[in-house]
Structure 1
C-alpha cells in the first residue's frame, strides 16, 4: 500500500490478494505460478461497500474508487495484469495513520467465506 497527495484529494493505492482463492485454485490442479496468475478467479474485486478507510480512529469518507490494471509480467507476448485499486480520500489527515480495510466475500460449496485485509500508512506532512 502506498499514498500520495493530489491536487484536491489524497490517494491510496493497494493490490489485494486472497489466500482462500489461491488455495482453491491450487486444490483444483493449478501447480505453477504462471497458470496461477493467469487465473482471473484468484484476484478479488471490490466495490465501495467492501473498502473502508480510517485516519487514526476516525472513519474517512471515500471520494472515489478506481480499479487499475497492475502489470505482473509479459509471457510470449501476453501481458498479464491483476486488479489493483486507487482510493481517493479528502485532504487534511496529515500526521495520522491511515488504515484501509477490505472485505472479500467468496461463495463455495454453499458456504460463505469472508476474508478481511488491512493495510496501514503513516501520512507525513
Structure 2
C-alpha cells in the first residue's frame, strides 16, 4: 500500500502544476469558463482519487486481517462527480460543463500514464 501513497503523492504534484496552468489560463485568456471548469473538475477528480486511495488502504487492511472486505466507495465517488456536474449546471456562466467532466477524468489519465511510464522504466 506504500506504493499507492507514493503514486498519490506524485499525482498531487502533477495536479498542482496543472492547476497552476489552469489558473494562468483563467487569468490571461478569454476562455475563463473552460479553465474554471477544468479547475473544478480536477479538484473533484483529485478528491475522488483520494477517496479511492483511502478505501483501498482499508480494503487491504481488512484482507490482511482476514475480515470482511469493505466496499471501495464507488457511491461516494459517483456522488462527488454528480456534485461537480451540478456545480457546472447551476452556474453555466462561470463553469463549462464539458471541461468539468474532462477535469474529473484527468487524475485517472495521469494514473494510467504513471503506470505506463513505471512499467517501461522497469522492463
TM (norm. structure 2) is: 0.32
Structure with greater contact order relative to length (CA < 8 Å, sep ≥ 6): 2
TM (norm. structure 1) is: 0.31
User: Which structure dedicates a bigger proportion of its chain to helix?
Assistant: 2
User: Which structure dedicates a bigger proportion of its chain to strand?
Assistant: 1
